[in-house]
Structure 1
Amino acid sequence: MAKNIWKKDKAEKRIATRLGEVKTIEIKDYVRDTDLHSLPRGKAYRVDGVHLYADILNLGDMLQSTEIEGTTCQKRAFRFLNLHQRAVHRILGAVDAIKVDFHNQRLHAVIAKPYGDEASRIHRAIAIGQLIIDVLTETGDDGDEHIPPADVRIGIDSGKALAVCNGRRGSTEPLFLGEPANHAAKRAGGGTATGIYLTNVARTAIELVEVDDENANALDATEIAYSQNEADLSVSVNTLLRDWRKDLEANPIGAFRFSGHTLPYADLDIEVLTPGNSRRNQAISVYADIDGFTAYVAAHIDDDETAKDVVRVLHVLRSEMDAVLTEDFGGRKIRFVGDCVHGVLAEGTAQTTGTEASASTAILCAGGLRSSFTTALDCLEDEGVDVDGLGLAIGLDAGPTAITRLGMRGAMIRCAIGRNVLASEHEQKRCAGDETALGSVAYGWCSAAGQAIFGSSRRRGGLDYETALDELADEGDTTAKAARAAKASLAATSLLEPVSAAPSAFRFPRRDAAPTKPAGFA
């Protein structure tokens, strides 16, 4: 069991180290064929491009295909995602788009070419979006597992964003910060209908009329056909499907096999996971999102000096959230998703999860995340960095959680699925920047003290670490009482540490100190 202790002085030391890593930042404008997949931590590129998000809408249906969320539905969901991710990887390579991220059911790509021609980039993005839709309607599997085609919703926006290094310790990829990335994601996630949805910014750039509700007005067939003609992509659906099938024959996905990880998750090496070596435990999924960050980026991106602060803020906040989750509470970061961290945590063994202890640890962890976030903002302000308008929204939910890596050999990506993963993201989205929310399953795992903290709304504002620790422990929560006792023991130990020797300047000389008679006196 993790000690579940958050200490301000420890957080401050980590934050100081992270600030030192980004003391010097270089902001550059994106130029032709710049490699964005190996950005150093201290460099960022300002990119004028079109952002495309593709959301696979029926992942939730796959996870709900059985009454109980057992291994069968999760194995089918993994195969469903793997088939479609491999197809999309091939599409993006064929059309020379930048694959930014494929987080579970959600793809983010950037179209930077042709340079200096926004309208042509948008037409190209529309054509690529339709290509993804058409290919993924054919990439199901009629075998024994009956994997359905993907229902896809595309969101597109255009404008300037800041490309920075995403991830740590060998799991890095480009990350784009700014309004076009965020608004494209919101269009993709803005409803349950399939199709291609543009922001009014993108519509205006290609001389389409603005609409009152961007989430309810998909492009019609005529508009899509016009963009396809303008883009004139050099690859067809049939060619992509043929190559995809050949790749599956040469490199079959293989069977998904699960084993339980010996908890806690902090020592889980995700980079060695494969479909045949996947993990599955009852666990809590954690989504912690930096609220207000899109507006913050938009206000700072145009000036080089303030853009440098964007990089500093992101690096410090996300690194500290990762440290809190892993070092302080024994959890594991799965992915950075934009300005959000997704992680998992649990208490118990490889075979059995202690549900009440896990829920209490998750509440304390959420409190630690918020306390560290506040501490980091204070440290950034002390360094002269503007952090106005930033908050932290945290969502938690519990249930069977499967973790593996999916995709093409040599480019496999981390993936954690479960009904609780989708639910924890939903809980995060219903929070303001000072709130934490529990899903219904996690609420059921809680002790009476934990349920009292969140009440019937399952949402609580201002829940920092000390508040969570005291409210849980005072009401008899076992995990919190143990954490408070461990914290007190650490404090007592530090007070009892041996005093260091006095400096030599204050030592008495080694000679007889008895009274002596001055010379000449009897």
Structure 2
Amino acid sequence: MGTHTWKHETAQARLKKSIESVEDVTVVDYVKDTSLENIPKTKAYRMDAVHMYADILNLDAMLESTAFEGTQCHQRTLRFLDLHFRAVHRILRATDARKVDFHNQRLHTFIAKPYNSEANAEAKRIRKAVSIGQLIIDVLAETGDSDELIENAKVRIGIDSGKALAVNNGRRSNREPLFLGQPANLAAKMSAGPAVGIYLTNNARVAIGLAKVDDEKGTALTSAEIEACQAAADIGVSKDYIVSEWKKDLEATPIGTFEFSGHTPPLSKLDIAALSPANSRRQELASIYADIDGFTAYVADHVDDNAEDVVRTLAVVREELDHVLTSDFEGRRIRFIGDCIHGLMCEGTAQTTDTVATISDAALCVGALRSSFELALEMLQEEAVETGSLGLAIGFEYGPTATTRLGMKGSRTRCSVSRAVRASEKRQLVCDGTQSAIGEVAYKSASEGVRKLFGANRITSNLDYAEVVEALAASKDATARAAKTEAFAPSLPAIAKSSNIDVRPHMRAIDPHRHD
């Protein structure tokens, strides 16, 4: 087991280079048919478009379909998602809609055509989005698998329209467009709710001639309103056609059986591009979500008059958060989700996870993420970059987790699912920009020092790296004591990597092939 630590000097040096790399930023208006692939780090496009989110509401039901979270519920959940990914892929391709991201149960897509040069373009885009959304609902109501106990998906659609910034999302080979701004964020919020249906913001409702409502998230479009949009948009694709083509695809290229094995830590060495249903990973680990709080309002305030600083701030902050997770703590970034990063961490072996060390390491990483975030804002401000009133909300949880790639061959999507992944996201969502929260399972399985740090409510404020190290080391947490030794006595690496506390009783094995 290695020792992971965060150092102010290292982060400062990284951030200096990162800030210098985005000194010259260009923001231009989007021009018809401009490619959004591989947008340079220092460029962004202002773009008018309709943004749509589709949330599959019964993912949790699939994950909780068995009492014990073994391979059976993970195989069932992954197959559930793969079936629906394939169907949605066909819908988007047939309707000229563009996928931004498919993060587990949540799809983000945008509709840019017709362009603003055409009369009533915005209303036409919104009606088209409504028609595509209803097609997704109708198709996914028939793409389950009764033989495998796979339910049909229950889907909720959220839609908004307006101006956003298109920038690069990701690093190296994992690059795709990301939209910053109110329409993408509000569409996501509209899709978050317990009831199926299509939900429009008042902004989008007014654009297609509908009256405003008092409760946007509680007022779905009526059947008549949806049918009017379908008639006007005439997208030319039927549910029966998509389902037929989906069935042909499954016959030609069956999903196959999901086969799991563990990955030998560190997870930073995990080659996600090599994963497939037959070559999936599964082991007990920590899942972390860190979301930039207040970013949507920050973009809205600056999208017209100072979009360059928005691009600079996001690029620098996300790159540094990624470095903390993957370089300092040897975790694995699964993806950037807008202004949020999702990553995994594990200590132990491919067969046996050191539970206590993993959770302590995750707590240290959580503190380091906040320390780097605050340092990034400080250094950006020193360079006269307007950063607004941003914060960082962090949640993490522990449990058996499956990681693979799903979807159409040649267009696979990375996916990491488990109750821990869902819980870590939910813990992040309860935090404001100063808070960090730990999940129930991680809290119960953690060292005494970690439990004291987060308290009975499992949430704490302004938790930076120094505070975590001091608090855990004082509680004789072996992982924190080793980190403190390395951080403050770099000339003694042998001491930093040793401990007289035997943590082997905390090692937990997970059989990747175990069924429920």
- Whether TM-score is above 0.5 comes out as yes
Secondary structure in 2 aligned to 1:162?
strand
CA contact (8 A) 1:2 1:330 kept: no
Per the alignment, residue 179 of structure 2 pairs with: 176
Q: How does 1:449-468 map to 2 (within 5 A)?
A: 449-468=449-468
Per the alignment, residue 499 of structure 2 pairs with: none
Per the alignment, residue 150 of structure 1 pairs with: 153
Q: Note the C-alpha offset of 1:491.
A: 5.3
Per the alignment, residue 291 of structure 1 pairs with: 293
- Asked if 1:122 corresponds to 2:126, the answer is yes
Residue identity in the other structure for 2:145: D
Residue identity in the other structure for 2:247: R
Q: How does 1:131-150 map to 2 (within 5 A)?
A: 131-143=135-147, 145-150=148-153
Secondary structure in 2 aligned to 1:215?
helix
CA contact (8 A) 2:394 2:436 kept: yes
Aligned partners of 1:311 and 1:360: how far apart in 2?
A: 34
User: Residues 216-251 of structure 1: CA distance to partner in whole angstroms, max 9, x if unpaired?
Assistant: 110010000000011011111111111111111111
Aligned partners of 1:27 and 1:484: how far apart in 2?
A: 43
Secondary structure in 2 aligned to 1:299?
helix
User: Residues 142-168 of structure 1: CA distance to partner in whole angstroms, max 9, x if unpaired?
Assistant: 22x121110000000010000001001
CA contact (8 A) 2:3 2:479 kept: no
Per the alignment, residue 236 of structure 2 pairs with: 234
| Between 349-358 and 23-32, the greater mean CA deviation after superposition | 23-32
Aligned partners of 1:387 and 1:161: how far apart in 2?
A: 18
Secondary structure in 2 aligned to 1:353?
strand
Aligned partners of 1:2 and 1:218: how far apart in 2?
A: 52
CA contact (8 A) 1:287 1:340 kept: yes
Per the alignment, residue 349 of structure 1 pairs with: 349
Residue among 157, 163, 167 paired with 1:164: 167
Q: Which runs of 4+ in 1 moved over 3 A?
A: none
Q: How many residue pairs get matched?
A: 489
User: Residues 197-226 of structure 1: CA distance to partner in whole angstroms, max 9, x if unpaired?
Assistant: 011111111121111111111001000000
Per the alignment, residue 499 of structure 1 pairs with: none
Per the alignment, residue 430 of structure 1 pairs with: 430
Secondary structure in 1 aligned to 2:319?
helix
Per the alignment, residue 194 of structure 1 pairs with: 196
TM-score by length of 1: 0.92
Q: Note the C-alpha offset of 1:82.
A: 0.6
Q: How does 1:302-451 map to 2 (within 5 A)?
A: 302-303=304-305, 306-451=306-451
| Between 209-218 and 220-229, the greater mean CA deviation after superposition | 209-218
Bigger radius of gyration: 1
Residue identity in the other structure for 1:241: V
Gap regions ≥5 residues in structure 1: 494-522
CA contact (8 A) 1:438 1:458 kept: yes
Q: How does 1:197-208 map to 2 (within 5 A)?
A: 197-208=199-210
TM-score by length of 2: 0.93
User: Residues 404-439 of structure 1: CA distance to partner in whole angstroms, max 9, x if unpaired?
Assistant: 011111111111000011110000000010110011
Q: Note the C-alpha offset of 1:21.
A: 2.4
Aligned partners of 1:89 and 1:38: how far apart in 2?
A: 21
Residue among 253, 258, 261 paired with 1:259: 261
Secondary structure in 1 aligned to 2:158?
strand
Residue identity in the other structure for 2:251: E
Aligned partners of 1:7 and 1:219: how far apart in 2?
A: 52
Per the alignment, residue 74 of structure 1 pairs with: 74
User: Residues 359-383 of structure 1: CA distance to partner in whole angstroms, max 9, x if unpaired?
Assistant: 1101100000000001100111111
Gap regions ≥5 residues in structure 2: 494-516
| Sequence identity (%) | 57
Per the alignment, residue 300 of structure 1 pairs with: 302
Aligned partners of 1:29 and 1:408: how far apart in 2?
A: 33
Per the alignment, residue 185 of structure 1 pairs with: 188
Aligned partners of 2:384 and 2:408: how far apart in 1?
A: 44
Residue identity in the other structure for 1:333: R
Secondary structure in 1 aligned to 2:167?
strand
CA contact (8 A) 1:3 1:328 kept: no
Secondary structure in 1 aligned to 2:466?
helix
Q: Note the C-alpha offset of 1:183.
A: 0.4
CA contact (8 A) 2:52 2:187 kept: yes
Per the alignment, residue 111 of structure 2 pairs with: 111
- Asked if 1:271 corresponds to 2:273, the answer is yes
Aligned partners of 2:108 and 2:394: how far apart in 1?
A: 22
CA contact (8 A) 2:310 2:387 kept: no
CA contact (8 A) 1:53 1:188 kept: yes
Q: Note the C-alpha offset of 1:2.
A: 3.4
